[in-house]
Structure 1
Amino acid sequence: MSVTTEADVLVIGGGIVGLCSAYFLLKERSRVFVLEQNEIWSDSSGANAGTVAVQNKTSGLQPLALMSVDLWRQMQNDEQLDLGFRQVGGLRIAMGGDQVRELQQGWSAQAEQELSLRWLEHGELRRFAPWIGRDVNAAVYCPADSQSIPLKAGPALRKAVEQLGGCVQSGTTVIDIEPSGDSVLVTTDQAGRIRCRHLVVAAGPWTKGLVRDLGVDLPISVDVNMLSITEPVGFLMDRVITHVSGILSLKQYPNGTCMIGGGWQGQGGFDTNTKELDYQNLIHNIRLAASVVPDLRNVNLVRSWAGFEPVMPDALPCLGCLPGEPNIWIATGARGGYSLGPAQGKLISEMILGKGLSLEGTAVFDPGRAF
């Protein structure tokens, strides 16, 4: 008979949300086991743009985004995790009259929520960001907007989890999930059986399949987002750039490389487990970036790739108990989930431990909500 491993919490998913959940649980002295079917950090979290912005989030996500920026900063600066996090401030840009009006409306609504913002246009915008292109008519500056380097954040979080006593195992597929009284028994192909008091499913696009056999159908869709990275160059920009229409993210890292994203869709899909570039969309993305920062026209691209992003119909995360299963927790599904990962992990840890929550209004994230 195979040995059954015991844990306080088993986390399925080795991305940003899973590792942050484990990290905050371990800090409260829980025994935590993390399973990942592929390599740790190899899927959605490792294939994203590293944008940690606030002002590009919907009103329903902004409190979570602000909480997450604080946690990114705390982990980077106070707890000495090298996440590549820098709070450089961000510009949300508009190009053309309709976009400017949309930007103004969003700026007014966000200002009412007491988010620190600054409206910039004409000469003031050029003085603030002399590197920005003439096609940009207006921008809103938010000092909370930040960036992280995913290639640094993943290894740093895994190391922190293991140093706190957590067990992290990759290349392991979950075969069966069986709720059993006040615990959950999980059967795997490589780690045997694991009995836990609480199970956290933070498996991104794979979450839907994992909970389907438990009688819950989560309406998770999956985007195939494309990204590009340039060669290292001298100074081009010193802010995180997002677009009012959500079609561009742009930043320069300390090593001089520039990351270009914006949710332009590649080809393939989760059902076929394919992520391919759509070259027509990719060209549109690159041309847009070069019109916003014209000096990019003289820079070589090094690589472009595509990655999955799981999204719920309302773009809010599923964060809480699985309906009918008080020991099974879901943490996935937010648009921009990488930037929100620390806050999602912190809140799930507080829910499991029965602690007061760091954020009010989390009922809107209930996995059992109506869609």
Structure 2
Amino acid sequence: MNNPHADIIIVGAGIMGTSAAFFLRRRGYSVLLLERGLVGQHASGTNFGNVRRQGRFLPQLALANRSREIWGRLPELIGDDIEFIPSGHLRVCFRPEEITRLETYAQAPEARELGLRIYQGAAMRALFPYLGPDVMAASHAPFDGHANPRLSAPAFARAAVREGVELRENTEISTVDKVGELFHVTSVSGEQFQAPRLLVTAGAWGSRLSTQFGEPVPMQPHGPQMAVTEPLPYVFKEVVGVLSDVTEEVIYFRQIPRGNVIFGGCYRSRPNLDTLRAAAEPKGLLIQLPQLKRVAPALARANVIRTWSGVEGYVVDDRPIMGPSHQVDGLYYAFGFCGHGFQLGPGVGDVMAELIDTGTTSTPIEPFLISRFAQYQAPLDVALAGSLAR
């Protein structure tokens, strides 16, 4: 038995798990953070890097706002620069009915902190001259931006370790059980860990662990198709994304100060959760490049120097799982963020630490509770019997 005195075990060291570990340690808890591979190896380190609030599910904006406040003070909070740039974010569209959707969203009370303004015609062309002729309108969020996902989870992990968190990488979990007041976590290699509280932040693999407690979540893995160009003159200051119900049109891109343009969207592959791999498929690039040209014609001849993908977990209703277990005291979840978790990460960690510490949270998370999938859940004794039989 290892580290029997930890107050809480966290399974999964992406940006959710590392930030939760950091904030829990700040609240005085001893924390054991377990990661099957390396910190930030999957969705947290392979995503687009969007620190975006506009366009989110409106009940999620309170959480996004809390997270944005933390993003604004990260260097002083964690002692690391993860290249957050509040560059602004443009959400553009191609059709008149989509303009109405942009306007309706901007007028929603929940969106008042975003500072949204809708631009069309000559005003839009004057402010954002790089937009192509098909673009009819652009919603500008001045306080949104982007950051480097490869740096983010490792930076939170280093800060958490400095605070006293115990981190174990290359520790894959096979089973989780609760016996009496303690959770028993067993690794594939046979190591056992115990603590009175357990937080599952295992991303696309989260449902595999929640299922062991009779709380399966209907979700699927997807692999975003990402690419980066050669360095170009630094002219695209804003992050740009397309509003459309046509999947193949939803391109998004950002330029970093050294000139490279990072882009993604339009197509997703189907990863393999057992091999931990998601393919960067050439089909994705063939769909993306015409859409990139459509939004920003100046990028038509840019050379792509690298492509990649990652493993992201998508819940059937496109909302994350976040909050306490519906069946087990001391068990908590934060996974399945449907490709939208990077901006939320610091806020999720802070909210989960508050919830675990006080039993409640000042930021509403009711739409994300696992209890909404109660119809899928098995009796707890049946679930535990299945867990022990594996």
What TM-score bracket applies, with the shorter chain setting the length?
A: over 0.9
Aligned pair 1:250/2:249, yes or no? no
Shift of 1:6: 2.5
Cα distance in 2 for residues equivalent to 1:167 and 1:290: 47
Give the match's secondary structure for 1:329: strand
Q: Offset at 1:15? A: 0.5
Distance 1:261 1:105 in 2: 26
The C-alpha deviation readout for 1:84-121, integer Å capped at 9, x for no partner, is 11111111101233433433333333687554211101
1:76-91 equivalences under 5 Å are: 76-91=75-90
Task: Report what 1:117 is aligned to.
Answer: 116
* Between 269-278 and 188-197, the greater mean CA deviation after superposition: 269-278
Q: Report the Cα distance in structure 1 between the residues aligned to 2:140 and 2:304, rounded to whole angstroms.
A: 27
Between 1:268-277 and 1:188-197, the stretch displaced more is 268-277
Equivalence for 2:165:
166
Once residues 123 and 171 of structure 1 are traced to their aligned partners in structure 2, the CA distance between those partners, rounded to angstroms, is 55
Deviates more, 1:30-39 or 1:287-296: 287-296
Change in 2 beyond 3 A, CA 1:139/1:69: same
2:17 aligns with: 18
- Equivalences for residues 237-276 of structure 1 within 5 A: 237-245=236-244, 247-262=250-265, 264-270=267-273, 273-276=276-279
1:78 deviates by 4.9
Aligned to 1:291: 294
Q: What is the match of residue 315 of structure 1? A: 318
**2:61: which partner in 1?**
62
What's the offset of the Cα at 1:38?
1.4
Partner SS for 1:262: strand
> Is residue 279 of structure 1 aligned with residue 268 of structure 2?
no
What amino acid is aligned across from residue 332 of structure 1 in structure 2? F
Secondary structure in 1 matching 2:164 = coil
2:379 maps to which residue? none
The equivalent of 2:70 in structure 1 is 71
User: C-alpha deviations, 1:330-352, integer Å up to 9, x for none?
Assistant: 10122301111111111111111
**1:32-64 deviation digits (Å, cap 9, x = unpaired):** 111111121111111100001111212122222
Deviation at 1:266, TM superposition (A): 2.2
Deviates more, 1:248-257 or 1:201-210: 248-257
Q: Are 1:303 and 2:302 counterparts? A: no
Q: Distance in 1 between matches of 2:189 and 2:32?
A: 13
Matches within 5 A, 1:112-261: 113=112, 115-190=114-189, 192-245=191-244, 247-261=250-264
Deviation at 1:9, TM superposition (A): 1.2
The one-letter code matched in structure 1 to 2:74 is M
The alpha-carbon deviation at position 156 of structure 1 amounts to 1.2
- Given that 1:88 and 1:240 are in contact with CA atoms closer than 8 Å, whether structure 2 keeps it comes out as yes
CA distance in 2, matches of 1:263, 1:9: 39
Residue of structure 2 in register with 1:41 after alignment: 40
| CA deviations over 1:231-251 (Å, ceiling 9, x no partner) | 222213001112112712211
Q: 5+ unaligned residues in a row in structure 1: which ranges?
A: none
More helix by share: 2
Q: CA deviation at 1:260?
A: 0.2
In structure 1, what is the Cα distance between the partners aligned to 2:72 and 2:111? 25
> Which structure shows the higher strand fraction?
1
1:358 and 2:357 equivalent?
no
Counterpart residue type for residue 182 of structure 1: E
The offset of 1:267, in angstroms, is 4.6
Shift in alpha-carbon separation, 1:214–1:79, aligned structure 2, 3 A:
closer
Runs of 5+ consecutive residues of structure 2 not aligned to the other structure: 376-390
**Is the Cα–Cα contact under 8 Å of residues 172 and 189 in structure 1 kept in the other structure?**
yes
1:337 aligns with 2:309: no
Contact 1:238 1:252 in 2 (8 A): yes
Structure 1 residues 78 and 12, CA gap change in structure 2 (3 angstroms): closer
Answer yes or no: is the 8 Å Cα contact 2:184–2:192 preserved in 1. yes
- How far the C-alpha of 1:277 sits from its partner, in A, is 2.9
Which piece of structure 1 moves more, 294-303 or 202-211? 294-303
How far apart, CA to CA, are the structure 1 residues paired with 2:239 and 2:129? Answer: 14
Q: Distance between the aligned counterparts of 1:74 and 1:147, measured in 2?
A: 14
Q: Given the superposition, is the C-alpha separation of residues 44 and 112 from structure 1 closer, same or farther in structure 2, using an over 3 Å criterion?
A: closer
For 2:230 and 2:111, the matched residues in 1 are separated by 41
| In 2, Cα distance between equivalents of 1:365 and 1:125 | 36
Instruction: Write the letter of the residue equivalent to 1:202.
Output: T
Could you tell me which amino acid in structure 2 is paired with residue 118 of structure 1? R
How many residues are matched? 369
SS in 2 for 1:276: coil
Query: CA–CA distance in 2 between the matches of 1:144 and 1:368?
Result: 34
| d(CA) in 2 for partners of 1:165, 1:200 | 18
| Structure 2 residue identity aligned to 1:251 | R
TM-score under structure 2 length normalisation: 0.88
Partners of 1:258 and 1:191 lie apart in 2 by 44
Letter in 1 for 2:192: R
Amino acid aligned to 2:346: P
Measured in 2, the distance between the counterparts of 1:112 and 1:6 equals 43
Superposition CA RMSD, Å: 2.2
Percentage of identical aligned residues:
26
Cα distance in 2 for partners of 1:66, 1:111 equals 10
Query: Are 1:316 and 1:334, in contact at CA under 8 Å, matched by a contact in 2?
Result: yes
